[in-house]
Amino acid sequence: MVGAVPARPDLPESAPIMNPLATPSLPELWDRLFGTQPDPDLWVVLATLVAALAAVLPHAVWRVSRNAVTIAHEGGHGLVALLTGRTLTGIRLHSDTSGLTVSRGKPHGLGMILTAAAGYTAPPLLGLGGAALLAAGHITALLWLATALLLVMLVMIRNAYGVLTVLVTGGLFLAVSWLTGAQVQAAFAYAVVWFLLLGGVRPAFELQAKRRRGNAGDSDADQLSRLTNVPPALWLFLFHAVSLCSLIGGTRWLLDL
């Protein structure tokens, strides 16, 4: 059946029809990235907090969601290695949520110390930085920045499982930031930041439990102890301090306390 659509009296005949799937212009992209977006309702912020807790607290769920924390952990090693002048040769992510970042350079000194210390501190600090962006209203900027970091990290991945993990994570960020509306983007961004803040706390306690049982292996704390002659327990205390302080600070920003 073919029929005529009556003109709306409140809409000029020359008014353009907006296509939500149309490619935005450069000024529109610039405004999206560097402009601010409205804060979500408080119930959305609290709902994403509950969702993040559900991804971190139950052991069965944590066995899967911890892969995202491992990406941030190993990405932290890699980023600081580059920033301190070391040569990053590759990153491996394993299905048991462990990982390995290899870099070339002096086997001692400040650069190596900072690189080794960056793993356990990266997820909570990324969460804290994300909370600062959200508090300033830069929701889209956070999503695009995360996508860019994941794409850069993908180049350095050296095993199939790692490639799959980073591709899936990066694809999710890209899909949300490009294909969804403002409310979905805000909810996703808040959920991610809550997850990094909460998920950044648990690994330090897991490492502490492993050390108590004597099966921590060659952990970051042990490597740092050899590099600095500082006991591993003090490095573990640093991991706890960074993660807990980041959680407190991030919570204040996200809840506007």
Residue spans of the domains in the chain: they are 59-254
Q: What is the pLDDT of residue 11?
A: 43
Nearest Cα to 108, choosing from 211, 229, 206?
Answer: 229
Amino acid at residue number 199 = G
Report the C-alpha gap between 213 and 21 in whole angstroms.
55
CB hemisphere CA count around 14 (13 angstroms): 0
Q: Which comes out higher in pLDDT, residue 38 or 163?
A: 163
Q: What is the pLDDT of residue 36?
A: 81
Helix (H, G, I), strand (E, B) or coil at 248: helix
**pLDDT exceeds 70 at position 138:** yes
**pLDDT exceeds 70 at position 121:** yes
What stretch of H or E contains 64?
A: helix 59-83
Nearest Cα to 223, choosing from 122, 128, 101?
Answer: 101
**pLDDT exceeds 60 at position 1:** no
Q: What is the pLDDT of residue 211?
A: 86
Task: Give me the chain's average pLDDT, please.
Answer: 89
Residue 82 φ/ψ, nearest 5 degrees:
-65, -40
**pLDDT band at residue 190, thresholds of 50, 70 and 90?**
very high
Q: Which comes out higher in pLDDT, residue 116 or 37?
A: 116
Q: Which comes out higher in pLDDT, residue 50 or 15?
A: 50
Q: What is the pLDDT of residue 212?
A: 86
Put residue 92 in one of left, alpha, beta given phi > 0 → left and psi -120 to 50 → alpha. beta
pTM: 0.86
Q: What is the mean pLDDT of residues 153-168?
A: 97
Q: Which long-range contacts (CB under 8 A, 24 or more apart) does 140-144 make?
A: 140/32, 140/33, 140/35, 140/37, 140/177, 140/185, 141/33, 141/34, 142/189, 142/192, 142/193, 143/173, 143/176, 143/177, 143/185, 143/188, 143/189, 144/33, 144/177
